[in-house]
Amino acid sequence: MSAPPVSPMVLSFEDACRVVEEQAALIQASVQVMGTESVDLLSAAGRVLATPVVADRAIPPFPRSTRDGYAVRSADVSQLPATLDVIGEIKAGEKLEKIPANIGRGQAASIMTGAPVPAGADAVVMVEYTSQRGARVEITKSAVPGENIVPRGAEAREGALLLDRGFRLNEAAIALAASVAGSRLQVYQRPRVAVLTTGDEIVDVDATPGPTQIRNSNSYSLAAQIRRAGGEPVLLSVAPDELQGLRRLIAEGLNSDLLLLTGGVSMGRYDLVEQALSEMHAEFFFTGAKIQPGRPVVFGRCCAGKFGAGTPARDEPLTYFFGLPGNPVSTMVTFELFVRPLLEALAGQSPRKRPFLHARLKKEIRVKTGLRRFLPASLSGDFEQSEVELVAWQGSGDIAATARANCYIVIPPDRECMAAGEWVAVMMR
Ligand code: AMP
Ligand code: MG
């Protein structure tokens, strides 16, 4: 079943990103989305909304005082000091019948933060600018209409769409949902992401490695990244650098929603991942990107059905796969750059551009041109003084250096030298 060698398709970083984004958009547009499940608000963080969250009432539901003080008519405090009659006290949660029906001319009501501002009043003067003696209060600061009041419905009108389907829930979104939606939310099920590590030298973490063997770290870093990106990792056995065993495990992995392979995609004689996939009639979108680390990264899709006899039938489901270079830092970086956007789409999340920060470079960097580089770095310092510098490393196999880093400095492909003090793009991890 030997297949012709895969012709190399090495794209620029931008083109490779575009290809992934196009496929992510196709996933988002397709009817073939993940199933849904109901989750408690307490475990909803990071999940993707499958049903929109709509305001069941106005937010705020009443004109809300944002200060402790006195609800007044602003016209009454234009001449200072002003002395007003205190006709009531309104605390947060006050029963409606205890709230003065109207604040008339020359009147005020003592009011607390979060309490409803009564009719007639159009401003709240902070308690710091008042002194009450008996039933009268002296005001020493004027107020403009609306001051310290959030009008009813100003944050959201009743029936307004607060969070759309595809929104990945953070703590603010959970607070919003809690304020209108009860204790459960409908979210998409997490896509199952198969992780297939390849290499004759790789042993499981619990095994005692022989003198030339190394422990499998990639499956574990990938599992962490998959979870963070909203997927459910499924670790397969380590595949040997041999076609038959590799094909069997690839076939197993293609039954998941996404397959990630690590190792075996470079130019070595035993780098057999592309050949195995090609024999299984895979379609390749690219087989390399002009980046460092991670140049040999592969992206494609393959039919999860039967293999060997002819091309797959049209209606057989296709599973996306990535072949990530085996060097541990290459695996981590290529996940962040290419796998994450596709996985987010599979998870039902609406597309978003990855944010990059900018920081001043602490020390000069010199590199060769031609590749966009993502080099492990350390971002430190306060506020306007933040600075970033490369961590010393031994190349893309150096996990220890990368564990000390908290970000990556991004170096454009046409830059040979980045001077100290220059602003550089930073990709957070
Ligand atoms: P490869 O991409 O297969 O040529 O592997 C490149 C380098 O990454 C080699 O030094 C491998 O030993 C190492 N490597 C590959 N897979 C893993 C893994 N799962 N965990 C740790 N290191 C790995
Ligand atoms: Mg290998």
Ligand 1 pocket residue status of 166, Cβ below 6 Å: no
* Higher per-residue pLDDT: 426 or 311: 426
Task: Let me know if 210 is exposed, middle or buried by CB neighbors in 10 A (0-12, 13-18, 19+).
Answer: exposed
Atom of ligand 1 at shortest range from CA of 326: 2
Between the CA of 412 and the centroid of ligand 2 the distance, in Å, is 28
Give the Cβ contact number of residue 234 at 10 Å.
19
The first and second tokens of residue 141, run together, are: 């600061």
If one residue of 195, 202, 220, 265 were mutated to test the ligand 1 pocket, choosing by the most ligand atoms within 8 A of its CB, it would be 202
Nearest CA to ligand 1 atom 16: 326
Q: How far is the CA of 70 from the centre of ligand 2 (A)?
A: 73
- Ligand 1 within 6 A of 263 CB? yes
Residue whose pair of structure tokens reads 């159009």 in the numeric block: 122
Q: Percent of the chain scored above 90 by pLDDT?
A: 90
Residue 307 binned pLDDT confidence (cut-offs 50, 70, 90): low
Tell me the two tokens of residue 87. Answer: 């006709």
Cα-to-centroid distance, 285 and ligand 2 (Å): 22
Q: How far apart are CA 351 and CA 353, in angstroms?
A: 7
- Whole-Å CA distances, 386 to 60, 74, 390, 404, 427: 38, 45, 14, 17, 14
Ligand lying closest to the C-alpha of residue 263: 1
Omega before 61 within 30 of 0, i.e. cis: no
Task: Give dist(CA 210, CA 257) in Å, integer.
Answer: 34
Q: Tell me if 323 CB under 6 Å of ligand 1.
A: no
Task: Enumerate residues 6+ apart whose C-beta is below 8 A from 39.
Answer: 47, 184, 185, 187
Q: How far apart are CA 148 and CA 151, in angstroms?
A: 10
Q: Is the pLDDT of residue 342 over 90?
A: yes
CA diameter of the chain: 97
16's enclosing H/E stretch is: helix 13-29
pLDDT band for position 310 (cuts 50, 70, 90): low
Q: Ligand 2 centroid vs 215 CA: distance in angstroms?
A: 13
| Lowest mean pLDDT across 76-80, 84-88, 382-386 | 382-386
In 3D, which of 285, 231, 243, 221 has the Cα closest to residue 19?
A: 285
Work out the pLDDT band at 30, boundaries 50, 70, 90: confident
Q: Is the dihedral of CA 111, 114, 119, 122 positive or negative?
A: positive
Q: Is the pLDDT of residue 1 over 70?
A: no
Backbone angles phi, psi at 156, to 5 degrees: -165, 140
Q: What pLDDT band is residue 278 in, cutting at 50, 70 and 90?
A: very high
* pLDDT of amino acid 133: 97
Ligand 1 pocket test, candidate residues 218, 287, 329, most atoms within 8 A of CB: 218
Q: Whose CA is nearest to atom 14 of ligand 1?
A: 326
- Please tell me the distance between residue 240's alpha carbon and the centre of ligand 1 in angstroms: 12
Residues 231, 346: contact at Cβ < 8 Å?
yes
Integer Cα distance of 347 and 340 in angstroms:
10
Task: Read off the pLDDT of residues 226-266 as tens digits, 9 standing for 90 and up.
Answer: 999 999 999 999 999 999 999 999 999 999 999 999 999 99
Residue 403 confidence (pLDDT): 97
**What Cα–Cα distance (Å) separates residue 282 from each residue in 248, 334, 418?**
14, 20, 41
| pLDDT computed for residue 182 by the predictor | 86
The pLDDT assigned to 5 comes to: 76
**Cα 229 to chain centroid, rounded:** 7
Measured between alpha carbons, how far is 109 from 118 in angstroms, rounded to an integer? 8
Average pLDDT, the chain: 95
- DSSP-derived 3-state class of residue 259: strand
Using omega within 30 degrees of 0 as the cis cutoff, is the peptide bond preceding 8 cis?
Answer: no
pLDDT at 309: 47
Q: Please, which residues have CB less than 5 A from ligand 2, an ion?
A: 199, 263-264, 326
Instruction: Quote the CA–CA distance of 272 and 243 in Å, as a whole number.
Output: 7
- Residue 339 pLDDT greater than 70, yes or no: yes
The CB of 106 under 6 Å from ligand 1? The reply is no
- Range of weakest confidence among 42-51, 83-92, 309-318: 309-318
Instruction: Find out whether 361 and 419 touch, Cβ atoms under 8 Å.
Output: yes
Q: Does the pLDDT of residue 370 top 70, yes or no?
A: yes
Picking from 379, 381, 399, 400, the residue whose alpha carbon sits closest to that of residue 389 is 379
Answer yes or no: is the C-beta of 15 below 6 A from any ligand 1 atom: no
Q: Is the CB of 293 under 6 A from ligand 1?
A: no
Ligand 2 midpoint to CA 17 (Å): 25
Higher per-residue confidence, 351 vs 84: 84
For residue 268, which ligand has an atom nearest its CA?
Answer: 1
Distance 260 CA to ligand 2 centre (A): 14
For ligand 1, whether the C-beta of 397 sits within 6 Å is yes
Does 288 sit in the ligand 1 pocket, CB within 6 Å?
A: no
Residue 312 has pLDDT above 60, yes or no: no
